[in-house]
Amino acid sequence: MPSTRSQNQPTIQFPRRKSSRMGPGPKGSSENVVEAHVTPLSPRKMNVGAVPSPSMSPRTCMMKTSQSERLPLSPRKRTGDENGCNLPASLLGSPPKQRCTPLCSPRKLSFSENTPVISSLSHHSPSSRKIPLSPITRPSPKKLSETPCTTPLVKSGGKVPVARLFPVKQSGYQSVKQALHTAVPERLLSREAERAAIVSFLEKHVVEGKPSSLYISGAPGTGKTACLNCVLQEQKALLKGIETVVINCMNLRSSHAIFPLLGEKLGVPKGNGEVRLRKFLTSSGPTVLLVLDEMDQLDSKSQEVLYTIFEWPYLPKSRMCLIGIANALDLTDRILPRLQAKPHCRPQLLNFPPYSREELSAIVQDRLAQSSGETVLDAAAVQFCARKVSAMSGDARKALDICRRAVEVVEAGDRSKIASESGSSPKGSRVSVPQVARVLSEVYGDRMASSSSEGESFPLQQKLLVCCLLLIIRNSKSKEVQLGKLCEVYSKLCKQRQVGGVGQTEGLSLCSLLESRGIFTLKKAKEARLTKISLKIEERDVENALKDRALLGSILAAGLP
Ligand SMILES: Nc1ncnc2c1ncn2[C@@H]1O[C@H](COP(=O)(O)OP(=O)(O)O)[C@@H](O)[C@H]1O
Ligand SMILES: [Mg+2]
C-alpha cells in the first residue's frame, strides 16, 4: 500500500508495531525510536514535541516491525452509534445518540435502542410461528456497546467528566462490568509520548498565542479522544484564559453545519457564519483552541470546509489553534493539494498506533484491579482477548467490550442456573478463556476465536443477516437495503426462530464483518440506521459462502418473517 502521508508533511513520528493496521509509517522513522519527534513544520514554525519530556517512557509496543506484515490500512468511518466522542446533548443538529450518563455516577452500560432482541424460549407469543432453528442454536449475543456515549469535553474551562471508580458496593459482576466501561477513563495508560506531544503543542502554540494546527490520526479505539480529554483535563491551569471549544463532528448534520455551531459556541452574531467567524478569529481577543473530534465527518466533495478550517490558524492576525482528530491517516493528504500552495498551513501530524497485546492487557487488567475484578475475569482470559484484539485491530474499546460481554455471558449463565436450581445461592463463576473465545467468535467470527484457523464456520448471527438481506432484496426492486430495515427483518426472524438477536449497533458491526468477508457492501451514512447495505456476491453464491444449505433453504422457503 502506498504511503498515505505526504513526505513533505511535518509529522510527529512514532514507531509502529507488527499488528498495526495503519499504513506504512513516515519515512525515516527508526524502528526502535523511543521518543516522539516531529519533523520541521515549516520554515517559520518550530516543532511540536520536538523535545519530549524526559519523563516520557518508552512504550512497550514500540517494537521492530516489518512493513510487509502490516494489515492494510482501513480505518473505517465510525457511525453515530459507535461514536465514542463527546458532545453536549444540547447541541442542535445532533442525530439521536445514546444517552450520556450523569457525570458523577459510575457509568451505566445502557443498551437503549440497541438492546438486543432476546427471545425467550418459554415466553414467546402463542401466535408466533415457531420454526426450529437449523442447524444450531446459539445463545443470545447481546450488543457489544461501542462507547455508547462518553462524556462531554471542555468548553472554556468547563469540567471534563471522567468515568468514576466504584464507590458503591455492588455485586462482583456488576462492578467488574462497570470497570470495563469505554467512557473517558479515570486513568490513561500508555500513550506517554502522544500525551507529551499534545502538551507540547499546547505549550508552544496555544499558550504562547502562536496559531498552528495539529492533526491526530489513528484507528478507532486507539485512545485519541481519551488521551486528548485527559490532557485537556490535566492542563486546565495551563489553558486558563484560552477559549476552548470542542466539537464532535459526528453530531453535525452536514459539514457546513460546523460554522453556525461554532459561531454559536464562540458567541459570534448569527448570519453569514463563515465570514463572521473569520473576522472574529482574526480580531483581538483571547486565543481560541478549537478541537474537532471525528473531523473526517467534515469531508465534503470539494473539501472546502476542511480547507477553510485548516486555513484559519494561518490567517493574518489569527488567534486560533486547531486540533483535529480522525481515524484516517490520509485526511490531511487529501486536502494537501490545496494546502501545498501554502506550506505553512500544513498541520503537524500525530499518529496513534494500534495498541499492542501488552498494552491492551494492561488496560483491561488496570480496570479489573480498580474493581477487584481479577477474581471474576482470570488473567489468561484477559491475555487471550488482548492477543486476539491486538492481532485484529489494537482497539482498546473492542477489548474492553469483549471482556465486559464475557462477564455478562457468565453472569447470565449463573442466573439461569440459580433459576433452575431454585433456592441455591449463587456461587459466582469465573470468566475464563472459553467464555472470551465465545464472545470473540460472536464478534469476529469463529476463525478469530479458535486457536487454529482451520474449519472456519460462519457465525449464526451473520448467516441470519445474510439470509435477511437476500429475502428483502428478493422482495423489493432495490438492491440496497438500509440497516434499519435489515435489522427490523432480522429481529423478526430471530423471534420467529427463537434465537437471540443483536441490536442495531452490533448488527452494523456484524455487517462490517460481512463486508470484510467480501459478502456485503456497506455505504456508510451519518446515522447508522441509514447505512446502505447490498450483496457483493451473486445471489447464487450466497449458499456457497454460507456453507449452510439447510438454514438458508428453510429461511428462504418461509419467506419474509
Ligand atoms: N490508554 C488507555 N487507558 C485506559 N483506557 C483506554 C486507553 N485507551 C483507550 N481506552 C478506553 O477505550 C475507550 C475508547 O478510546 P477512545 O479514546 O474513544 O478511542 P478513539 O478516540 O481513538 O476511537 C476509551 O474511552 C477508554 O475507555
Ligand atoms: Mg474518538
pLDDT of residue 416: 74
Distance CA 97, CA 522 (A): 21
Half-sphere exposure of 282 (CA within 13 A, CB side): 13
Give the number of the ligand closest to the Cα of residue 226. 1
Measured in Å, residue 228 CA sits from the centre of ligand 2 at 9
Measured in Å, residue 317 CA sits from the centre of ligand 2 at 31
Give the count of beta carbons closer than 10 Å to the beta carbon of residue 189.
18
Residue with CA at minimum distance from ligand 1 atom 9: 223
Q: Answer whether 99's CB lies under 8 Å from 112's CB.
A: yes
Task: State which amino acid sits at residue 193.
Answer: A
pLDDT tens digits for 154-188?
433 344 444 444 443 446 788 888 899 888 898 89
pLDDT of residue 370: 85
Q: Answer whether 153's CB lies under 8 Å from 224's CB.
A: no
Instruction: Give the residue carrying C-alpha cell 517512557.
Output: 57
pLDDT of residue 197: 97
Measured in Å, residue 396 CA sits from the centre of ligand 1 at 6
Measured in Å, residue 293 CA sits from the centre of ligand 2 at 7
Residue to probe by mutation, ligand 1, list 61, 327, 363, 364, most atoms within 8 Å of CB? 363
Of all atoms in ligand 1, which is nearest to the CA of residue 293? 21
Q: Is 551 helix (H, G, I), strand (E, B) or coil?
A: helix
Measured in Å, residue 246 CA sits from the centre of ligand 1 at 17
Residue with CA at minimum distance from ligand 1 atom 1: 189
Locate 186 and state its grid cell.
479515570
Distance CA 266, CA 260 (A): 10
* Low-confidence residues in the chain, pLDDT < 70: 1-171, 301-302, 334-337, 339-340, 373, 419, 421-428, 444-458, 516-517, 547
pLDDT of residue 225: 95
Distance CA 405, CA 460 (A): 18
Measured in Å, residue 548 CA sits from the centre of ligand 2 at 38
Domains of the chain: 17-33+51-71+191-352 (3.40.50.300), 112-147+168-183+356-449 (no CATH), 460-558 (1.10.10.10)
Residue to probe by mutation, ligand 1, list 81, 87, 109, 182, most atoms within 8 Å of CB? 182
Residue with CA at minimum distance from ligand 1 atom 12: 397
Measured in Å, residue 184 CA sits from the centre of ligand 2 at 10
- Pocket (CB within 6 angstroms of ligand 1): 84, 147, 150, 182-185, 188-191, 218, 220-226, 363, 396-397, 400
Angle between helices 357-370 and 396-420 in degrees, nearest 10: 50
Of all atoms in ligand 1, which is nearest to the CA of residue 223? 17
Give the number of the ligand closest to the Cα of residue 227. 1
Q: Answer whether 281's CB lies under 8 Å from 315's CB.
A: yes
Of all atoms in ligand 1, which is nearest to the CA of residue 191? 1
Residue to probe by mutation, ligand 1, list 191, 215, 225, most atoms within 8 Å of CB? 225
Give the number of the ligand closest to the Cα of residue 367. 1
Give the number of the ligand closest to the Cα of residue 361. 1
Report DSSP letters for 372-408, one per residue: TGGGTB-HHHHHHHHHHHHHHT--HHHHHHHHHHHHH
Measured in Å, residue 179 CA sits from the centre of ligand 1 at 13
Measured in Å, residue 312 CA sits from the centre of ligand 2 at 23
Distance CA 487, CA 504 (A): 6
Q: Answer whether 28's CB lies under 8 Å from 76's CB.
A: no
